[in-house]
Structure 1
Amino acid sequence: MSRYVIGDIHGCAKALRSMIEELSPTQNDELIFLGDYIDRGPDSRDVVDQLIELQSKCQVVALRGNHEWMLQSVVARGLDDAMWLRSGGKATITSYGGSIQKIPGDHLEFFDALLPHHQTEREIFVHAMYNPTCEVHEQDDELTYWAHLPTQLPAPHCTGRRVFVGHTPQPSGEVLRHTHLVCMDTYCFGGGYLSAMDLEMETILQVDRHGHVRRVPVERVMMLLRGCASWFRKGEADG
């Protein structure tokens, strides 16, 4: 069984298709998506189609991002659509044929089934941010969906679990990786990459918005991990 965590897609359907082809998941494999499947990129509808199809091929854990939160609030709760449209919603509406009324029922069911967070014995997965002093299910929606990572990164989570987030774009195109925190949003729609991390081996697969694959060399992964361990030890000493 292989397990992967995958960052923000934002309508980059070609990137997602190439990534799924490269990963070639089987029924026992698990893919954990951190949210923001829609908006900004060119084909949100195709992204959701792929994710729905993927659920029949492997184990899919799909979190809700703030962009899905906005779409659901407009469609189901009557929220004014101005903020959503300014935040990339126009691209999503275009991909659905120009109207939210054209969103298929199975897509609405997919959005409704999205999770606010996911936990294992060793990991926490949440779209945006976390409160290091409380359980993730106790924190408010502002942290779960909206808050970006601050320059001074949050402390390790009180449970000792490693936290995986998206939402805060990394303009470098590199996964932000520390021993207690990993940010998987590598800015695919803005010229970076869609990134997947093997949760056991810590190897990284990246695909650009045109579907071109980039593999991070193992040597670079090991160098990054050594740097993260050094940073964490220094933080403990300073604390």
Structure 2
Amino acid sequence: MKTFVIGDIHGGLKALPQVLKKAKVTLEDTLIFLGDYVDGWSESAQVIDFLIELNKRHKCIFIKGNHDLWCEDWLTTGEGESIWLAHGGEETRKSYDSFSEEEKQKHLAFFQKMKPYYIDSKNRLFIHAGFTSMHGIEKETFKLNYYFDRTLWETALATDKNLSEKSKLYPERFTHYSEIYIGHTPTIRYNSSSPVNALNLWNIDTGAAFTGCLTIMDIDSKEFWQSDQVNTLYPNEKGRN
């Protein structure tokens, strides 16, 4: 039995079966998805269909990302926020053109069941973006940080890796969990096409929305596998702006 964590998919359905196959995922394994299933490539609705079916066969944990939050709002109200439409939402709306109202409601129920974060039995935290409370995620007062925060990631990168956890300068946010896994900020923006580790944090978003790959990682061994560059799987599309 293994536990795998999967980065941001952003409508790139063709990449998902690739990484599941490369990692040799079995029915006994647990899959933890870090959010942002939609917005970017042309198969966002199809990604949700795939995940709903996958959840029937595997133990899956679905974390909600900011793009999922926007898509959920659109499925609820029929009105998409302008920021969402400008950042992949228009492509997501088009992917639902052939879906019935009943199918959309099924997807809405799926979004509504997603978790804002997950902490496993080994005190490992899985969250889409981050949190700001020095007392831990349960004490976060501004819950939207779960989906949008980048300061957790930036702090991990900026902290001296040789700094002891016992030092007064060590950021307290990182002391509450044995490990933290995030997506949200593509590692390709930091000149890495692979997952990046800083302090006890791992960023698994390797830029599948843009010119990067989709990544799946075994959280115990830290071995990871990647899809083809997702833009090569959709050669006639532009992906995320």
**TM-score range with shorter-chain normalisation?**
0.7 to 0.9
Name the Cα RMSD after superposition: 2.3
2:208 to 188, 193, 200: 188
Shift in CA distance, 78/12, structure 1 to aligned 2, threshold 3 Å:
closer
2:149 to 144, 147, 150: 147
- Structure with more contact order per residue of length (Cα contacts < 8 Å, sep ≥ 6): 2
- Are residue 159 (structure 1) and residue 176 (structure 2) matched? yes
> 1: CA distance between counterparts of 2:80 and 2:46?
25
Match of 2:64?
64
> 2: CA distance between counterparts of 1:141 and 1:99?
31
Between 88-97 and 151-160, report the one with greater CA deviation.
151-160
**Structure 1 residue 199: deviation in Å?**
1.0
Question: 3-state SS of the aligned residue for 2:217?
Answer: strand
Which runs of no fewer than 5 residues in structure 2 stay unpaired?
A: 160-170, 234-241
The normalised TM-score by structure 2 is 0.79
Asked if structure 1 preserves the Cα contact closer than 8 Å seen for 2:75 and 2:108, the reply is no
1:75-122 Cα shifts (integer Å, max 9, x gaps): 325765212101210010111117895853321111111000000223
2:194 to 153, 174, 177: 174
**Across the two proteins, how many residue pairs are aligned to each other?**
211
Asked if structure 2 preserves the Cα contact closer than 8 Å seen for 1:36 and 1:64, the reply is yes
Identity among equivalent positions (%) equals: 29
Match of 1:104?
104
**Structure 1 residue 11: deviation in Å?**
0.5
Question: 3-state SS of the aligned residue for 1:4?
Answer: strand
- Are residue 130 (structure 1) and residue 131 (structure 2) matched? yes
Shift in CA distance, 26/168, structure 1 to aligned 2, threshold 3 Å:
same
> 1: CA distance between counterparts of 2:175 and 2:154?
20
1:46-90 Cα shifts (integer Å, max 9, x gaps): 211111111122110000000011112233257652121012100
Asked if structure 2 preserves the Cα contact closer than 8 Å seen for 1:96 and 1:102, the reply is no
The 5 A counterparts of 1:27-66 are: 27-66=27-66
**Structure 1 residue 27: deviation in Å?**
2.8
Asked if structure 2 preserves the Cα contact closer than 8 Å seen for 1:132 and 1:158, the reply is no
Question: 3-state SS of the aligned residue for 2:118?
Answer: strand
Question: 3-state SS of the aligned residue for 2:4?
Answer: strand
1:181-201 Cα shifts (integer Å, max 9, x gaps): 011110012111111110111
Shift in CA distance, 63/43, structure 1 to aligned 2, threshold 3 Å:
same
Asked if structure 2 preserves the Cα contact closer than 8 Å seen for 1:93 and 1:100, the reply is no
Shift in CA distance, 151/112, structure 1 to aligned 2, threshold 3 Å:
closer
> 1: CA distance between counterparts of 2:98 and 2:40?
15
Between 141-150 and 157-166, report the one with greater CA deviation.
141-150
> Given residue 170 of structure 1, which amino acid in structure 2 is its aligned partner?
T
Question: 3-state SS of the aligned residue for 2:174?
Answer: coil
The normalised TM-score by structure 1 is 0.80
Which runs of no fewer than 5 residues in structure 1 stay unpaired?
A: 212-239
1:120-171 Cα shifts (integer Å, max 9, x gaps): 2230001001236223133122321112245442735232421110001111
> Given residue 187 of structure 1, which amino acid in structure 2 is its aligned partner?
G
> Given residue 40 of structure 1, which amino acid in structure 2 is its aligned partner?
G
Asked if structure 2 preserves the Cα contact closer than 8 Å seen for 1:43 and 1:92, the reply is yes
Match of 1:116?
116
